[in-house]
Amino acid sequence: MADKDSQDKPDFASGIPSDDLPEGAMLEGTLGEDKVLLLRRDGQVRAIGARCTHLGAPLAKGIVADGEVRCPWHHARFSLETGEAVGAPAFDPLPCYRAEERDGRITVTGRRKAAVRPATRNPGKVVIIGGGAGGHACAEWLARAGHGTAVTLVSDDPDPPYDRTFCSKQYLSGKAKRETTRLAPEGFYGGDGPRLLRDRVVSLDLDAQEIATAGGERLPYDALVIATGAAPQRPDVPGFERPNVHTLRSLADADALIAATETARSVAVVGASFIGLEVAAAMVAREKVVTVVAPDAVPLARVLGEAVGRFVQGLHEDKGVTFRLGREATGFDGTALTLDDGSRIEADLVVLGTGVSPRTDLAEAAGLTLAQKDEGGGIAVDATLAASASGIYAIGDVASYPDPRSDRRLRVEHWVHAQRQGQHVARALLAGATLGEAAPFAETPFFWSGHYGTSLRYVGHAGSAEETQVEGDVSKGDFAVTYREDGRDAALATCKRDTRSLEVEDAWDREGRAAG
């Protein structure tokens, strides 16, 4: 039986009047049990799957740009021609359908085969260090092109690649099961796919072009992709070494935190970062008493500005979260957190949301060039994401790259951005581009953050939130805030304005490509 949502949609098997699909329009309907999206662009009618293969967003609420449809929720991109997921965070393709227009009527007659991906160059032996966002996205793209067996992904995480965003959101709050966090189906790593080596890389030999692992393996490479990510910072505070003080980076960390909530009544979150506040929301969902401690006067004000920061704070306070702002933790005795004003907060467990540091130890020991601390640290790469030694790329949280729009070096800690950097490197390897001569990486940074059903989208990158232009009403959760630097628009934060976010991202992507 069709669901209620489908009953409200047109039946494309029966057809619709051509006038119902004017130039530039998108319309969701059904074909049997399938949800189908009809589009008309340049007079041509196309039909593809209507829901994003990442988390099911309705693509009819997205935009079309450069022959691609962009998802309104998490900005995945799909080819209109082939249905292929050409931009993370989606990996699975959309189905494609046959659409016919005759005698003033459009009908969808069934599925069609997507175009065959053109042959690509064999990239040789590719070793990827790190199984996070960027590492998996690079391996997946290479496998998608038929070169999975050329890839070895080495990861010191005990779990196969998973969606780290679930660790502070759906999985931690109890809204998703552990198995739903996996980024690839069972068996992807193995057989004709990439090899997943659960081990720790201990050294890089740049002259021999091979890596060595703690388990004793030596792996030669034609291309090495460093995607080692970042590690949580643990402030040097008495008591923070206790077992009921947690950081949250990995799925195992989330497991440990979930287990700790079984007996905990009160939770103190140290740090009003995005991760810290998402943890607070997850703990509220688990019916805990939550207190957030941070030195900031307003949560997230440095990134989002005071108005948006106060809006987010209000979302949490409405759910019962207590904030102790302008305060720092000075100790934890296992049952209570002591603050710098001498006050105490009862806490059965403490979660640290106090930032991360890029994992550059391997690169530094090998002599790769690192970025300056005032640039955010990390491994310095060029515009193509190539590091300072032949055959090596760095991507994700560990990579410091030149941003074409700002002409500044950035190190961006965003999940989707890391995935897109991994895909960029894979495309360069498949094209056979000489290291350093591939197309520049010019995609606009993007992240989202969820708080009790309210989602924020952020595109671009601004070093501060001092100069802002506000559209809408921030207090009502319907806004677009532009952050300006050096006389230009640098970033945009939105709530309930998904189309605006997509359009600005597309414009800045174009600007970045032109500048590169």
- Give a yes or no: residue 66 inside a domain: yes
- Give a yes or no: residue 299 inside a domain: yes
Q: Which of 232, 67, 162 is nearest to 415 (CA)?
A: 162
Q: Same domain for 130 and 217?
A: yes
Three-class DSSP category at 259: helix
Q: Same domain for 384 and 409?
A: yes
pLDDT tens column, 252-261:
999 999 999 9
Q: Same domain for 189 and 170?
A: yes
| Block residue for tokens 């009502």 | 476
- CATH number of the domain that 496 lies in? 3.30.390.30
d(CA 229, CA 358): 6
Could you tell me if 449 and 456 are in contact, meaning their C-beta atoms sit under 8 angstroms apart?
A: yes
For the cut 50, the answer to whether the pLDDT of residue 2 exceeds it is no
For the cut 80, the answer to whether the pLDDT of residue 176 exceeds it is yes
Sequence-ordered list of residues with C-beta below 8 angstroms from that of 514, at least 6 positions apart, any chain: none
Q: What percent of the chain has pLDDT above 90?
A: 91
In the sheet that holds 126-129, the strands lie side by side as 195-198, 151-155, 126-129, 223-226, 392-394
Q: Same domain for 72 and 161?
A: no
d(CA 96, CA 506): 24
- pLDDT score, position 1: 39
Q: Same domain for 349 and 374?
A: no
d(CA 316, CA 513): 39
Q: Which of 327, 353, 379 is the last residue of a domain?
A: 353
How many helices (H) and strands (E) would you count in the chain? 11, 36
pLDDT tens column, 379-436:
999 999 999 999 999 999 999 999 999 989 999 999 999 999 999 999 999 987 555 5
Q: Same domain for 408 and 464?
A: no
d(CA 60, CA 71): 8
Q: Same domain for 341 and 400?
A: no
Q: What percent of the chain has pLDDT above 70?
A: 97
Identify whether 89 is preceded by a cis peptide bond (ω within 30 of 0): yes
Q: Angle formed by the axes of helices 274-285 and 306-318, to 10°? A: 20
- In terms of Cβ atoms closer than 10 Å to its own Cβ (0-12, 13-18, 19+), residue 159 is middle
- pLDDT class of 222 with cuts at 50, 70, 90: very high
> Residue 487: which region, alpha, beta or left (left: phi > 0; alpha: psi -120 to 50)?
left
Q: Same domain for 181 and 165?
A: yes
Predicted TM-score (pTM) of the model is: 0.95
- Residues paired with 48 in a beta bridge: 37, 96
For the cut 80, the answer to whether the pLDDT of residue 438 exceeds it is no
How is residue 160 annotated by DSSP? Answer: P
For the cut 70, the answer to whether the pLDDT of residue 437 exceeds it is no
- CATH number of the domain that 132 lies in? 3.50.50.60
* Mean pLDDT for the chain overall: 94
- Residues paired with 38 in a beta bridge: 27, 47
Task: Copy the structure tokens of residue 385.
Answer: 């994401």
Long-range contacts, 109-113 (Cβ 8 Å, 24+): 109/13, 110/31
- Give a yes or no: residue 506 inside a domain: yes
- pLDDT score, position 40: 96
Three-class DSSP labels, 349-410: EEEECCCEEECCHHHHHHCCCECCHHHCCCEECCCCCECCCCCEEECHHHEEEEECCCCEEE
Specify the higher pLDDT residue, 329 or 190: 329
- Give a yes or no: residue 118 inside a domain: no
For the cut 90, the answer to whether the pLDDT of residue 375 exceeds it is no
d(CA 352, CA 235): 9
- pLDDT score, position 502: 98
Sequence-ordered list of residues with C-beta below 8 angstroms from that of 497, at least 6 positions apart, any chain: 472, 478, 479, 480
Mean pLDDT, range 114-143, rounded to an integer: 90
pLDDT tens column, 298-314:
999 999 999 999 999 99
Q: How many domains does the chain have?
A: 4
Task: Copy the structure tokens of residue 393.
Answer: 């790329």
Mean pLDDT, range 316-341, rounded to an integer: 97
- Give a yes or no: residue 220 inside a domain: yes
Domain carrying residue 497: 453-515
Q: Same domain for 188 and 273?
A: no
Mean pLDDT, range 233-244, rounded to an integer: 96
- Give a yes or no: residue 279 inside a domain: yes
Q: Same domain for 273 and 293?
A: yes
Q: Which of 353, 374, 395 is the last residue of a domain?
A: 353
Q: Same domain for 214 and 246?
A: no
- pLDDT class of 118 with cuts at 50, 70, 90: confident
For the cut 90, the answer to whether the pLDDT of residue 191 exceeds it is no
- Give a yes or no: residue 500 inside a domain: yes
Could you tell me if 368 and 389 are in contact, meaning their C-beta atoms sit under 8 angstroms apart?
A: yes
Q: Same domain for 347 and 375?
A: no
Three-class DSSP labels, 282-313: HHHHCCCEEEEEECCCCCCHHHHCHHHHHHHH
- CATH number of the domain that 34 lies in? 2.102.10.10
- Give a yes or no: residue 117 inside a domain: no
How is residue 161 annotated by DSSP? Answer: S
Sequence-ordered list of residues with C-beta below 8 angstroms from that of 31, at least 6 positions apart, any chain: 11, 12, 13, 97, 108, 110
Q: Which of 52, 81, 112 is the last residue of a domain?
A: 112
pLDDT tens column, 23-65:
999 999 999 999 999 999 999 999 999 999 999 999 999 999 9
Sequence-ordered list of residues with C-beta below 8 angstroms from that of 433, at least 6 positions apart, any chain: 384, 439
- In terms of Cβ atoms closer than 10 Å to its own Cβ (0-12, 13-18, 19+), residue 196 is buried
